[in-house]
Amino acid sequence: MDQAAQRLEGAVRSGVADALRTDDLFELAEHDIKNALNVVNSALDMIADDPAEMADMLPLLRRSSGRIGRLVATLVEVNRLVGGTTPVRIADVPWARLCESAMAEVALVAEARALTIDVRGDPSLVVRCDRALLERVLTNLLDHILAAAPRGSAVDVHVARSDDGGFRALIGHRGTPLAADQLANVKRLGGWGLGVTFCRLALERQGGTIQPISPYHGDAGVAFEIALPA
């Protein structure tokens, strides 16, 4: 998956994305989609063995089917970003509106895993961005972090105005940190699966950046820091 992300990044930089786009995008998507389908199949097997499990399995099935839908939508969006066909419409958008939309998208995931989302920062902040793209960035990062967070733990969404007047957000969990070599590998390749590849491309189209940080909460945690210019 890292090799696919690296090839895709090289294609974007060199302007020959069309030659590599299909194979690399599907390679990036394959792992995540297979994982979600495995969860669905496991839940269905449990229901087949004991129909009384249906009530307990329904939230899991809804969550996994929603994740598959988001992955397919992300695959299409990454393809458009690589091909340069996604229009970017920059405007001033209230952070509170962006945050509310992203939280609504992942509410079921957080509830099913008993996760608390700790939102901090000035709710009156205004972000200069493409609203649709940044909403998807936030949703994808939350989806990624919620899936990795220890059950019953807290997930952080912290926002602030940067020193140069831009926008910064930190989205992370407080679980097991990445080893130093894993973190270096993620930073070097610039991609971490389909969802984060989309986030990187979408932010770059808006003049922004994304960086992984680990640990970030004491000696624990994995987070993504995103930044957009003023």
CATH code, domain carrying 204: 3.30.565.10
More confident residue, 28 or 9: 28
Residues 128 and 46 in one domain: no
Interval 21-79: pLDDT, tens: 555 556 666 666 777 777 788 888 888 888 888 888 887 787 777 777 777 777 777 77
- The confidence score (pLDDT) of residue 157 equals 97
Residues 111 and 136 in one domain: yes
Q: Given a cut of 90, is residue 201 above it in pLDDT?
A: no
Q: Sign of dihedral through CA atoms 126, 129, 131, 134?
A: negative
Structure tokens at 63: 């969550």
Q: Work out the mean pLDDT of the chain and round it to a whole number.
A: 82
Residues 160 and 77 in one domain: no
More confident residue, 220 or 85: 220
The Cα–Cα gap between 157 and 118 comes to 6
Q: Given a cut of 90, is residue 14 above it in pLDDT?
A: no
Report the domain count for the chain: 2
Residues 101 and 211 in one domain: yes
The range of the structural domain enclosing residue 96 comes to 91-228
Domain finish residue from 59, 83, 107: 83
Note the pTM of the prediction, 2 decimals: 0.72
Counting residues of the chain whose pLDDT is more than 90, the rounded percentage is: 40
